[in-house]
Amino acid sequence: MSAHVRADRDVCIGAGNCVMTLGSVFDQDDDGVVVVLQPHPDGVDPELLQRAVVMCPAGAITVTTT
Amino acid sequence: MADVLTDRLPLFPFRSPDEDPFTPVTTADRRHLDGPVTRVRLPTGGWTWLVTRHADVKQMLRSDAFSADMTRPGFPLLRTPPPATPQNRRGGFIRMDGEEHLRLRRMLTAEFMIKNVRRIEPLIADVVDGALDALDGAGAPADLVATFALPVPSLVICHLLGVPYADHAFFQQRSAVMLDQGADPLAVRDAATSLRAYLGGLIETKRTSGRPGDDLLGRLVSDRIRTGELEIGELIGMALLLLIAGHETTANMIGLSVLLLLQRPAVWQRLREGTDADADTLVEELLRYLTIIRTGLPRQAIRDVQIGGRLIRAGEPATALLSLANRDAEVFDDADEFDPYRQAHQHLAFGFGVHQCIGQPLARAELRIALTRLARRLPGLALAADPAALPKRDMSIVYGLAELPVTW
Ligand code: SF4
């Protein structure tokens, strides 16, 4: 099982909840828009990934597991 | 819109005598709610759907079926709006929808990023320590709201925006009027007009000075006004929004949090001795439990939409009651209990959806730093009044204590 993380930069409103939840996977660029640092995060707690998804107020983050 | 049916609905905001300042809706008032989405009457004569469940509030605030534009006819207002002027809406992006909102919000997101807030944590700590020096120097007793809870966020936001703190009494008085749901509409308009005039003058000085300054307003003048991306009237509205939000929200969170912590000595002690991570967890639970935006977030449906099993029709008003959503037993065990070390991260105290509070990283840092340093500096802090008799801001959009007498 490996997770694939995507973020929709067009809908991101820069609230930064994803960075607060998982700073190793998400960052914000100079404009405050989300950047995925690790599209395939290994060894990251899946519960925290899920938390980043549900806490994003804009619904910008998707995590698919294959 | 008033009719016989509306007249029979319970009046919102509910105003039963508080059981304690931490109860968002009393047991007596909860009986008015006969379901998760229920109609209530508003002081302005209209009505609104009150949405109270966590999942429903999230869905509602995320949905583009709702408008946040309070100038729409039928929008759920708690007070008669001040007479409209072409100026008084400009830049106020929390009341805008879609692209118009995003355009202005995006100009500010970088300013409030966690990374940038980390950089100013030392400034916050200095501000807190300065307030504590003054408080301790003047000696007990003191009103902690006037001497600590209000000046700390107020100094921080003035510093960030580049607004002289010497003028803070002027903003505080006017921003309190703007948030007071019981205030006379003309007084609200006058408060807004004088704040806009003040900020307009300040921005004009920055614009013409050649060196706008390394603060938020100065940067927006250099980066956005000079490029023509932003108009002065819009910047004034944005500055007003940040100034008011920066003054009132964190201040009331600090005041109420201290009252709560003083009644829980073990938590107070752990705040003094624990780690920053402990304090962060505690802050999330304080945000959940206290949810100071007590009157909820008003919206209006712009198309038919199902929320919590109800059909809300296009044109109908709806209010997301954050405080009850944050006490939803589906999401939080023993939701009405304050449990300082629970994982409360799912709370909706900052709202949800595209309007979620832009200043939340700043608010979290201010709360952690202010509460921790207060507990360490004045470990013997104690309430100097009957908690039941403390004056509260019942009719303000931002709930809180008007005074908090303490000794140490
Ligand atoms: S939580 Fe969502 S809206 Fe906020 S920065 Fe991350 S992706 Fe953007």
Rounded to two decimals, the ipTM of the complex is 0.94
Q: Which residues does residue B353 pair with via DSSP β-bridges, in sequence order?
A: none
pLDDT tens digits for range A17-60 = 999 999 999 999 999 999 999 999 988 999 999 999 999 999 99
- Contact between A3 and A40 (Cβ < 8 Å): yes
Contact by Cβ (8 Å): A16, A46: no
Two tokens at A3? 């997770």
Q: Cα separations (Å) of B82 from B67, B85, B182? A: 20, 9, 12
Separation of alpha carbons B363 and B113, rounded Å:
12
Q: Give the start-end residues of each E strand in B283-322.
A: 297-301, 305-307, 310-312, 317-320
8-state DSSP, B167: G
Contact yes or no for B44/B77 (Cβ under 8 A): yes
- Of B402, B395, B355, B368, residue with least CA distance to B70: B355
List CB contacts of B60: < 8 A, sequence separation 6 or more: B51, B66, B299, B307, B318, B320
DSSP code at position B221:
I
Q: For residues A37 and B397, what is the distance between their CA atoms, to the nearest angstrom?
A: 39
Asked whether the beta carbons of residue A21 and residue B112 sit closer than 8 angstroms, the reply is no
pLDDT value of residue B121: 97
- Opening angle at CA A25, ends A20 and A30, nearest 5: 70
**Cα distance from B109 to chain A (closest Cα, Å)?**
5
For residue B1, the model assigns a pLDDT of 47
Query: Which residue, judged by its Cα, is nearest atom 8 of ligand 1?
Result: A12
What's the pLDDT score for residue B4? 59
The confidence score (pLDDT) of residue B113 equals 94
Burial bucket for residue B266 (CB in 10 Å: 0-12, 13-18, 19+): exposed
Cβ pair B178, B188 in contact under 8 A: yes
How many Cβ atoms from other residues are within 10 Å of residue B168's Cβ? 18
Which residues on chain B are in Cβ contact (under 8 Å) with A28? Answer: 109-110, 113-115
* Long-range Cβ contacts of B376-379 (<8 Å, 24+ apart): B376/B272, B377/B129, B377/B132, B377/B136, B378/B132, B378/B135, B378/B136, B378/B408, B379/B268, B379/B269, B379/B272
pLDDT tens digits, residue range B340-351?
999 999 999 999
Q: B343 C-alpha to center of ligand 1: Å?
A: 20
Q: Nearest residue on chain B to A11, judged by CA atoms?
A: B354
Instruction: Look at residue B165 in the predicted model and tell me its pLDDT.
Output: 85
SS3 label, residue B39: strand
Residue B2's pLDDT is 47
Say if ligand 1 is within 6 A of residue A36 CB. Answer: no
Q: How far apart are CA B126 and CA B146, in angstroms?
A: 18
Cα gap B366→A58, rounded to integer Å: 24
Q: Which two tokens stand for residue B361?
A: 């990283």
> In sequence order, which ranges of B291-400 are alpha helices (DSSP H)?
322-325, 360-377
Q: Is A48 on the interface with B (CB under 8 A)?
A: no
3-state SS class at B375: helix
In 3D space, the residue among B337, B324, B370, B360 whose CA is nearest the CA of residue B128 turns out to be B370
Distance from C-alpha of B302 to C-alpha of B316, rounded to nearest angstrom? 8
| pLDDT score at B86 | 64
Residues B114, A14: C-beta atoms closer than 8 Å: no
Residues 6 or more apart whose CB falls under 8 angstroms from that of B209 comprise: none
Residues of chain B with pLDDT under 50: 1-2
In the three-class reduction of DSSP (H, G, I as helix; E, B as strand; rest coil), residue B398 is classed as coil
Centroid of ligand 1 to alpha carbon of A5 (angstroms): 13
Residue of A16, A31, A59 lying closest to B106 (CB–CB): A31
Is beta strand B47-51 parallel, antiparallel or unpaired with respect to B317-320?
parallel
Kind and range of the H or E run holding B168: helix B168-179
- In the numeric block, the tokens 């490029």 are attached to B227
Say whether the peptide bond before residue B83 is cis (omega within 30 degrees of 0).
no
pTM confidence score = 0.95
Helix B232-262, helix B98-109: angle, nearest 10: 70
Give residue B17's pLDDT: 67
How many residue pairs from chains A and B have C-beta atoms closer than 8 A?
A: 68
